[in-house]
Chains A and B, each alone.
Chain A
Amino acid sequence: MFSFENIIMLWQDYWQIFIFEGLKYTLILSAIAVFFGVIFGSFIAFGRMSDIRPFKIINKYNENNNAILKAVANFNPVSFICEVYTEVIRGTPLLLQLYFFVFLIPKVLPFINQFNAVALALSFNSAAYVSELFRSGIQAVDKGQTEAARSLGMNKTQTMLRVILPQAIKNILPAVGNEFIAIIKETSMASTFFVGDLMTSYLVVRGATYLALESLIIIGVIYLVVTFTLSKLIGKYERKLNSK
């Protein structure tokens, strides 16, 4: 039967598994996912906001404003690819993406183990979300800022680096922190492949003790402590940024 004593006993006997085989890998996976998510994500964000129109020249010869020609002229392949990527990732379940990577990777890149395949899937997944955070953070900066900078003769890059990003970062950093918290919870899906994360440690302990409910409560509390602490820290940091 379920009992409080069982929880304490489980914790005493298995805390090392929960912490060092569970939480540790949950945090590692999440950190990898956010780290590469931020790197890939910023490329995707800038790709989407880029102004690469290889067929722009058509506009010059399109005198009677043909709508199809206009669409071709304004077509931005980089932005299009980035948009498709973001929509596909955000429009399909993470679990599906995990299955996809775990099955695909050994076929094309046999030297990558399952843990890394999962880490890769999480990274590609978070890249899509992070790119949207970057994009909305940048777009939230008043358009007047760009106009003021450009009117002073600053070029696009100078404007982005010296005027827009320093302001956008205040919107972006807390949002990336929240994304980290979201990923911590999402890594639980990695347990499907038994790669070692907090949820996997639950499966291990349950298998050994048949105390399902008690194990669940323990990892639930661990998830909660970690996410709650992080969200408090982010909130504090956010207030500090805004008071400046």
Chain B
Amino acid sequence: MIQTVDLYKSFGDLQVLKGINEHVAPQEVISIIGPSGGGKSTFLRCLNMLETPDSGKIFFEGVDITSEKVDIDLHRQKMGMVFQHFNVFPHLSVLENVTLAPTVVKKIAKNEATEQAMELLNRVGLAEKANESATSLSGGQKQRLAIVRALAMEPDVMLFDEPTSALDPEMVGEVLDVIKGLVKNGMTSVIVTHEMGFAKEVSDRVVFMDGGIVAEEGTPDEVFNHPQNPRTKDFLGKVLY
């Protein structure tokens, strides 16, 4: 579904991605783990071209989206993204956060979009909050809203960038449960996370990124229980205990 070929990216003199070749198959769930600054977010943000890679190609559903000829907005509709800091729209109500993109981008009729949004909000337990301001929500609620907002565009793949890192510990569970539900229903997902237990549980494949390269990857069992690369061992030793 997504394939990256030799992805390179620098910020000034700092080389952040040094040749990433990855493939995300339909319905696959991939967790990206690794030390801070290793390029995880940058890689994820390249996947929907929020960052433009310096070189390399990204194929999404067969189209090279790094090409200047493609209408990136069209392809982004098919890739939902969830951010560490939620980025809900504070000037809109909970419901409007969800209906904005479908009505503006897809030109779906308001009542139809509302109906679909209410159904989604209901699924994550936010239906009663529909008419409240998005700013009145707790962190966990904001992140659930952000997920639903992305889902309203009916994406083929979801990209999560540390969706629980900015949450109070007691709210982490409610957000992870929503993601687990999605994944169980076959949503293709790429998840950057520091929640090792969660990564172990939901992933088909775990990718360990360090220093701008994929240092190791494999099934959760391979990476977590039998890491080969000393850097993976070192990292896991630090985060697991």
Whose C-beta in chain A lies nearest to the C-beta of B150? Answer: A152
Known: A152-B76, A153-B77. A158 touches B105 (CB 8 A): yes
The proximity string for B residues 49-93 relative to A, scoring 1 for CB distances below 8 Å and 0 otherwise, is 010000000000000000000000110110111010101111100
A16 proximity list for chain B (CB < 8 A): none
- Bound Cα distance A151, B47 (Å): 11
A74 proximity list for chain B (CB < 8 A): none
Whose C-beta in chain A lies nearest to the C-beta of B84? Answer: A144
B76 proximity list for chain A (CB < 8 A): 150-153
The proximity string for B residues 131-162 relative to A, scoring 1 for CB distances below 8 Å and 0 otherwise, is 00100000000000010011001000000000
The proximity string for A residues 130-148 relative to B, scoring 1 for CB distances below 8 Å and 0 otherwise, is 0000000000001011011
Q: Are A153 and B83 in contact (CB under 8 A)?
A: no
Q: Are B89 and A144 in contact (CB under 8 A)?
A: no
Q: Tell yes or no: B100 within 8 A of A by CB.
A: yes
Interface size class of A (residues with CB under 8 A): 10 to 19
- Out of B50, B74, B90, which one reaches A151, CB within 8 Å? B50
Whose C-beta in chain B lies nearest to the C-beta of A153? Answer: B77
Q: Are B73 and A153 in contact (CB under 8 A)?
A: yes
Nearest-neighbour CB distance to chain A for B164, whole angstroms, equals 16
Known: A158-B104, A158-B105, A167-B91. A152 touches B149 (CB 8 A): yes
Nearest-neighbour CB distance to chain B for A4, whole angstroms, equals 53
Q: Tell yes or no: A166 within 8 A of B by CB.
A: yes
Known: A144-B87, A148-B89. A153 touches B74 (CB 8 A): yes
Q: Are B105 and A152 in contact (CB under 8 A)?
A: yes
- Out of B50, B89, B150, which one reaches A150, CB within 8 Å? B50
- Bound Cα distance A166, B97 (Å): 13
- Bound Cα distance A158, B50 (Å): 16
Nearest-neighbour CB distance to chain A for B154, whole angstroms, equals 11
- Out of B90, B101, B146, B150, which one reaches A154, CB within 8 Å? B101
Number of residues of chain B lying within 8 A (CB) of chain A: 25
- Bound Cα distance A163, B153 (Å): 17
Q: Are B73 and A147 in contact (CB under 8 A)?
A: no
The residues in A between 139 and 194 inclusive whose CB is less than 8 angstroms from any CB of B are: 142, 144-145, 147-155, 158, 162-163, 166-167
- Bound Cα distance A158, B89 (Å): 14
Q: Are B87 and A145 in contact (CB under 8 A)?
A: yes
Known: A147-B50, A148-B146, A162-B100. A154 touches B105 (CB 8 A): yes
- Bound Cα distance A77, B74 (Å): 29
Q: Are A154 and B73 in contact (CB under 8 A)?
A: yes
Nearest-neighbour CB distance to chain A for B186, whole angstroms, equals 21
- Bound Cα distance A19, B83 (Å): 57
Q: Are B105 and A148 in contact (CB under 8 A)?
A: no
- Of residues B74, B77, B88, B91, which shows the largest number of chain A Cβ atoms within 10 Å of its Cβ? B91
Interface pairs A-B: 9 shortest CB-CB? A153-B77, A148-B87, A152-B101, A144-B87, A151-B81, A153-B76, A166-B91, A153-B105, A155-B73
Starting from the known contacts A145-B89, A153-B101, 4 additional A-B residue pairs (CB-CB under 8 Å) come to: A144-B83, A149-B101, A150-B50, A152-B80
List B residues at the A interface (Cβ < 8 Å).
Answer: 48, 50, 73-74, 76-77, 79-81, 83, 85, 87-91, 100-101, 104-105, 133, 146, 149-150, 153
List A residues at the B interface (Cβ < 8 Å).
Answer: 142, 144-145, 147-155, 158, 162-163, 166-167, 244
27 pairs, CB–CB < 8 Å, chain A vs chain B: A144-B83, A145-B89, A147-B83, A148-B149, A149-B101, A150-B50, A151-B48, A151-B50, A151-B80, A151-B150, A152-B76, A152-B77, A152-B100, A152-B149, A153-B74, A153-B76, A153-B77, A153-B153, A154-B73, A154-B101, A154-B105, A155-B73, A158-B104, A162-B100, A162-B104, A163-B89, A244-B133
